[in-house]
Amino acid sequence: MTTTTTGTDTVALPRRTAPLSSADQRRGARRRRLGACGVLMTPFFVLLVTVFLIPVGTAVWLSFFGADQPGLGFGPERTVFVGLRSYAAVLTDPTFLGGLGTVAAYCLFYIPLMVVCALALALLLDSGVVRLRAWAQLALFLPHAVPGIIAAIIWLYLYTPGISPVIELLARGDITVDFLGVHTVLPSIVNIAVWSNLGYNTIIFYAALQAVPREVIEASVVDGAGPVRTALQVKTPLVRSSIVMVAMFTLIWGLQLFTEPMLLGQQTPMINSRFTPSMYIYDAAFNRNNYSLAAAASVILLLFTIALSYGVTRWTNRSAEKQEAAR
Amino acid sequence: MPGRQSRRSVLAALAALSLSGVSACTGSGGSQPRTTGKRSKKTTRITFWSALRGSQEVVDEFNRTHDHIQVDFQQVPSGALGGYAKLSNAARAGNAPDVATIEYPQVPGFAIDGVARDITDLVDDGLRDKLLPQALELTTFDRRVFSVPLDIEPMVLHYRKDLFRKYGIDVPTTWDEFEEAALLARKRAPDRHLSLFPTDGMTQFAAFSWQAGARWFDTSQGAWNVSMADAPTRRVARYWQRLADQDLVARFNTDGNRFPAAIGQGRILSRLHGAWDAGAQMNAHPGQAGKWAVAPLPQWDTRRPVSATHGGSTFAVTKDCRNPEAAMEFISWQVTHPDALRARLSSGTSSQFPAAPGLIEVGRKAFDRRYYSGQDIYALFREQAELIDDRWTWGPRMTATQKVMQDGFARAAGGQGTIIDAVREAQRGTLPDLKALGLSTTERSS
């Protein structure tokens, strides 16, 4: 207790002699910290503004303006404020809604498949069953290093009847598969996406699994849990946040599906020029020369993506809280 | 082989994407120096874009015979391969060529977008009188002319004379006879088809409907009336659906390798294409000389024969042109002067049917009849061109309409949906576009 008094005394002395300098020091430190924050954050904000906010703003602006062409439209063209006209046109366009349906089906199929496969692989790697772990990781990750467009071209080659060695090999075994048929075209696209992203997501899960405390695993082993049970009931719940993150990123990517169907569309009539919302936007802008329609469709897709991401986060947070409460 | 093709087309598409941006910056050239005074000695330079074969020869001939106007020609990819995107982008950037080549279906779209200039006042009576009225009608909207027709291509029946004779098939003059002939061909030559329903053939299907009296688009009431599934179109769709369902006609793309192969091997005995295809056939299959003949399009009602067009191009003066008079002079020369047609035909075998009837004789003389065993196909084209129904109007976004319809045709050929479903889908996919452009639209069906 006495030490506290001496302590206050000793502290009080310099405070009395140099009260300003201490405040200055603190202010200076804060300023330095703010400065550092500023320096470190500026690139982020500059990029955010230039590659996200300005384009979004432009798109919103464009979507509210359009050509004023009363009647047949052969008169002189004027650009005027048209309100929600372009939005109404997009939302009543069955080809756009069909595109949304396509990506919804794609996501429902792709996301669970991707998460389950990537998690299973990560758990296998983590469990030590796999030999040559580093090589396995490299092999898994390599496809992700192939740019999406190249991957699509490679798969297009493998899917096209007449040139595909896969189809030829299957045909020798009396199996005829049309990878680009009515019912197979979406699974074919999912296959490309899984091929190129599986390794990446596996690495994310694997990294998350590394952070699981060894004591927990040991405790579960001591309690008599087998490797499968440990993997499913101990490790998996502990990497829950990674699973949500991967699912969310996959969802956002899925909604913007463009490259693969765009390229496969060259070989199959089952993929039309407005197969997905992104393709619809491209078609509206560059084939139909309707920038305001394209902008409105882009804004709708953005809002849709934000709403869905928000919904997913809210839902997972709430169910996480519930789980906490249940414990 | 198809693989190489496909990859190449993928790359071509990518290249076209990137090029269309670049070209917008480079294509300006010609419109800068211009004549100021009325009788200035200066030469006016104009730029000209076209994907048509023989254009370089035509331009060379023009430049050789003219002093006050000189044309800079640039070969561009065809519309479907990015030529139209290139033109739109250039116009958006403010440096479209002075003169652009636009096919009939795309004329209203470029007119509405303001790319093709209103040239009503520049088309004098002299030029007007030289053109087939049905052709000029197709480039006139709201009583304003937006481009000048170069050729008009009546749809005709190109058929294998030798194989028709071999299997005892008479040349059909009506669609009923065409169906019987198709049945006969399947019976007598099970590995062959009388003809093809092209799954990438919106333009062919449009011609069939046009002939039957359909009016997909109509501007007579001051609004764009879209009724693609009108009664005549439904009739045509039913007809082809019936033929397709019984496998009386083949169904695949005319683009790609399969169609030329089928023609080369004689697995397709006839095709319903525009007059131009007679020349294209000579180029593509020189070995089949003497085996082909051309007949009129089969009719629904032989007492009132009607024809329709398949293909054909027009020339437009763009909004960025600084000297429309000079551009018009060049266009006018191109579409009406015998030297222009001769120059174009000199580039190789062509059977282009000029929209200026005065030039038909020139084409007829220049055309080498040996391939068609001496048949006077130009005389036939002339008769057929007279029968073209002049009430047809193309829509404001034909490239997009075409895509949606052809996707539907291809799906129908794959067993999903029908021909008329594809037509209805095209209508549904077209209307939002027109509304978003701010056009007045209606949907009455005749």
pLDDT digits (tens, 9 = 90+) for A9-40: 444 444 444 555 677 778 888 888 888 888 98
Judge whether residue B39 has pLDDT over 70. Answer: no
Q: Do B10 and A156 touch (CB under 8 A)?
A: yes
Bridge partner list, B313: B103
B277 and B218 in one domain? Answer: yes
Is B257 in the same domain as B163? yes
What residues in B contact A94, CB-CB < 8 Å? Answer: 425, 428-429
For B252-264, what is the mean pLDDT?
88
pLDDT, tens digit, for every residue of B365-423? 888 889 999 999 999 999 999 999 999 999 999 988 998 999 899 889 988 899 999 99
Yes or no, beta carbons of A92 and B432 under 8 Å apart? yes
Provide the 3-class DSSP secondary structure of residue A284: helix
The answer as to whether B347 is a domain residue is yes
pLDDT, tens digit, for every residue of A146-182?
888 888 888 988 888 778 888 888 888 888 888 888 7
User: By three-state DSSP, how is residue B252 classified?
Assistant: coil
SS3 A160: coil
Out of A18-22, B48-52, B107-111, least confident range: A18-22
Q: Which helix (H) or strand (E) holds A59?
A: helix A54-63
User: B276: Cβ–Cβ under 8 A, 6 or more apart, which residues?
Assistant: B151, B153, B311, B312, B350, B351, B352, B353
Domain match, B277 and B323 both: no
- When scoring A64, A69, A72, A293 by the number of chain B Cβ atoms within 10 A, the one with the most, hence best to mutate, is A72
Q: Are β-strands B44-50 and A78-81 bridged in parallel, bridged antiparallel, or unpaired?
A: unpaired
Instruction: Answer whether B135's CB lies under 8 Å from B355's CB.
Output: yes
Please report which confidence band the pLDDT of residue B15 belongs to, taking 50, 70 and 90 as the band edges.
very low
Would residue A67 count as lying in a domain?
A: no
Q: Give the structural domain span for B329.
A: 17-35+42-152+312-381
Cβ pair B194, B182 in contact under 8 A: yes
Chain B residues close to A69, C-beta within 8 Å? 112, 437-439
- CA B231, CA B444: separation in Å to the nearest integer? 12
Q: With respect to residue B12, please indicate whether it lies within any of the assigned structural domains.
A: no
Q: Both B289 and B404 in a single domain?
A: yes
CATH number of the domain encompassing residue A113: 1.10.3720.10
Confidence (pLDDT) at B444: 83
Contact B113 A289 (CB under 8 A): yes
Indicate the number of domains in chain B: 2
Task: Identify the CA nearest to B353 among candidates B387, B392, B315, B313.
Answer: B313
Of B381, B416, B431, the residue that ends a domain is B381
Give the pLDDT score at A78. 78
What is the pairing mode between strands B313-317 and B99-103? antiparallel
Q: Which domain holds residue A175?
A: 89-326
Does residue A162 sit in helix, strand or coil?
A: coil
Q: Does residue A70 lie within any of the structural domains?
A: no
pLDDT digits (tens, 9 = 90+) for B326-353: 999 999 999 999 999 989 888 766 788 9
Residue A11 lies in a domain: no
SS3 of B7, please?
helix
Decide if B411 and A270 are in contact by the 8 Å CB cutoff: yes
Percentage of chain B with pLDDT > 90? 73
What does the alpha-carbon distance between residue B126 and residue A66 come to, in Å, rounded to a whole number? Answer: 39
Handedness of CA A79, A80, A81, A84 (dihedral sign): negative
Structure tokens at A85: 């006209």
Q: Please count the helices (runs of H) and the strands (runs of E) in chain A.
A: 16, 2
Tell me if A290 and B13 make a contact (CB, 8 A cut-off): no
**Residue B225: which CATH number?**
3.40.190.10
What pLDDT sits at residue B446?
Answer: 57
A271 in a domain, yes or no?
yes
CA angle in degrees (0–180, nearest 5) for A293-A297-A301: 170
Whether B11 is in a domain gets the answer no
Mark whether B161 and B144 lie in a shared domain: no
Three-class DSSP category at B392: coil
Answer yes or no: do B301 and B321 share one domain.
no
CB A123 within 8 A of CB A202: no
CB A297 within 8 A of CB A280: yes
Name every chain A residue with its beta carbon within 8 A of the beta carbon of B14.
Answer: 149
Give the phi and the psi of residue B96 in degrees, each rounded to 5.
Answer: -70, 155
Task: Assess if residue B369 is contained within a domain.
Answer: yes
